[in-house]
Structure 1
Amino acid sequence: MIWRQLREQQENLLSPYAARSVNSFGRIINEEKCPIRTDYERDGNRILYSMEFRRLRHKTQVFFNAKNDHICTRMEHVLNVGSIAVTIARTLNLNQDLTYAIALGHDLGHAPFGHSGERVLDKCMKKVNLEFGFQHELHSLRVVEKLATRISKEKIHEKCGLNLTFEVRDGIVSHCGENYNEYSLKRDLGKTPQSLCNVKDRGGLPFTLEGCIVRLVDKIAYAGRDIEDAVRVNLMNVHDIPKDIRNELGNTNGEIINTLVCDMVENSYGRDCIRLSPDKGQALEKLINENIRLIYKADKITRYEKIAENTLEGLFDSLLDSLSDFEKLQTNENKVYRMFYNFIADKAYDESESDAQKVIDFIAGMTDQFAQSCFEEIYWM
Structure 2
Amino acid sequence: MNLIEKNSLKFIFLLGLVSLFGDIIYEGARSIIGPFLSLLGASAVVVGLIVGLGEFFSYSLRLLSGYLADRTNRYWLMIFLGYGMLLAIPLLAWTKSWKLACFLIILERIGKAIRTPARDAILSHVTERMGRGIGFGIHEALDQIGAIIGPLFLSFIFSLKKTYQTGFAFLFIPAIFLVIFLSLAKIKYPSFVSIEDKVFFKKEKISKNFWIYTLFSFFTVAGFINFQIISYHFKTKMILSDINIPVFYAIAMGVDAIFALLIGKVYDKFGLACLLILPFLNIFIPFFIFTSYTSLILVGITIWGSVLGIQETIMRAAVADITPLSKRGIAYGIFNTIYGLAWFLGGGLIGFLYEISLNYVILAIICLQIISLFLWWKIKI
Provide TM-score, normalisation by structure 1. Answer: 0.27
By percentage of residues, which structure has more helix? Answer: 2
Q: Report which structure shows greater RCO (CA 8 Å, sep ≥6).
A: 2
Provide TM-score, normalisation by structure 2. Answer: 0.27
- Which structure's CA Rg is the greater one? 1
